Amino acid sequence: MPISPLRRGIYNRQADRIEKALFSLALPTRVQGGEVSKECVRYHLAPLPDGSAYQVNEIVSKVAEAMGVYKVHVNEVEEGWVLDLPLEGEFSLRLLPLIEDLGNLLPLTAVLGITASGKPLLLNLRRKETWHLFAYGPASTGKSELLRTVILSLALKNRPSQVQFLGIDLSGKELSVIEALPHVLAEVAVDPHYAEELMGWLGDEIERRKQAQGMYPDVILLIDELEGVMHHSEMLLRELPLILHEGSKIGVHLVATSKEIRPGSIMPNWRKSGTVVAKAGHDVTQAEIAETGRGQFEFNVAGERTVAQVAWLPAQDLQQAITMVHTGWRSKSTAVNLKA
């Protein structure tokens, strides 16, 4: 079946993880290619070195753990080995393994996903050109996953003294994860009245920062379904232009999603506000959207476009990520930074 450049990048990344998992078992071998069917991705592995000691069930367990699936199928053939990864798992581009492969990141750098070349895509929110993030597109294209990916990757790599979160989610479903993080300043606002209170506090904080000297943690205002919040919050309508155009001077960022609003309707000069615009559903069929619930995005930074597949946190990784936020970790890799 045809393979898009983004899918090919993901497969190459998975091949690297398979090799790493086998190396941890003292089985140095290489993935020599593969093929995709409707049921699975089949990876062809070179023969193991003579004298290698192994147990097939140990290989299966280690590779399944590394890939984040319940099981894989491994068989020895004349040319070496074949490893079948269920197709239902291959779309699960997991955030934790991706971060694990990365080196020390610059402060306030979020890990977004993987580009068509197979390299991680990073977003440095400390750069004026990439200070805010606005994702838009139809329902079920992965916007909320993108939001959670930004939150967790920042929390995993930055202390609460560096970044803090405020969340508004009138649906009450997508941002509850941040309440388990030490970086959160208040409970997520799930009703219009409380959303107004949060915006009132943020407005006061903005004024304090404009008038006072000193070092403050960056504050990221997270909003899922921006159109609904704008409909209910006059305070947001007043503060939004200030956040967008003065945020880089006062350490305040906006990371928001929308189904209906396009950037130009609320940010006429969004290119000058340091806003990265992510269009959901780039080059994705409705069948793929229905199957995975997680799509591809086209990220636009001052006219420069980068297409990527967003990483996400399946249920089994979420609690592990929250635990890691409190314990910290280090990692290593080569990545692509979004830049103008």
Beta-carbon count within 10 A of 166 CB: 24
Do 29 and 142 have their domain in common? no
> Within this chain, do residues 192 and 236 fall inside the same structural domain, yes or no?
yes
Nearest to 49 by CA among 12, 23, 16: 23
- Residue-number span of the structural domain to which 48 is assigned: 5-90
Q: State yes or no: pLDDT of 335 exceeds 80.
A: no
Is residue 210 located within the same domain as residue 262? Answer: yes
Beta-strand runs (E) in 37-119: 40-45, 73-77, 80-86, 109-115
- In whole angstroms, give the CA distance from residue 265 to residue 251: 24
CATH of the domain at 206: 3.40.50.300
- Closest by Cα among 9, 282, 301, 273 to 143: 282
Same domain, yes or no: 120 and 169:
yes
Distances (CA, A) of 80 to 33, 46, 47, 51: 12, 5, 4, 14
Residue 106 DSSP code: P
> How many domains are there within the chain?
2
The whole-number average pLDDT for the span 20-34 is: 88
Q: What is the CATH number of the domain that holds 13?
A: 3.30.980.40
Q: What's the pLDDT at 90?
A: 43
Same domain, yes or no: 195 and 120: yes
Task: Examine the domain organization and report whether 218 and 302 are in the same domain.
Answer: yes
Instruction: Tell me the β-bridge partners of 222.
Output: 167, 255
Same domain, 127 and 58: no
The C-alpha atoms of residue 37 and residue 139 are separated, in whole angstroms, by 28
Least confident of 71-75, 81-85, 125-129, 183-187: 71-75
The residue from 70, 90, 110 where one domain ends is 90
- pLDDT at res. 185: 95
User: Does 36 share its domain with 127?
Assistant: no
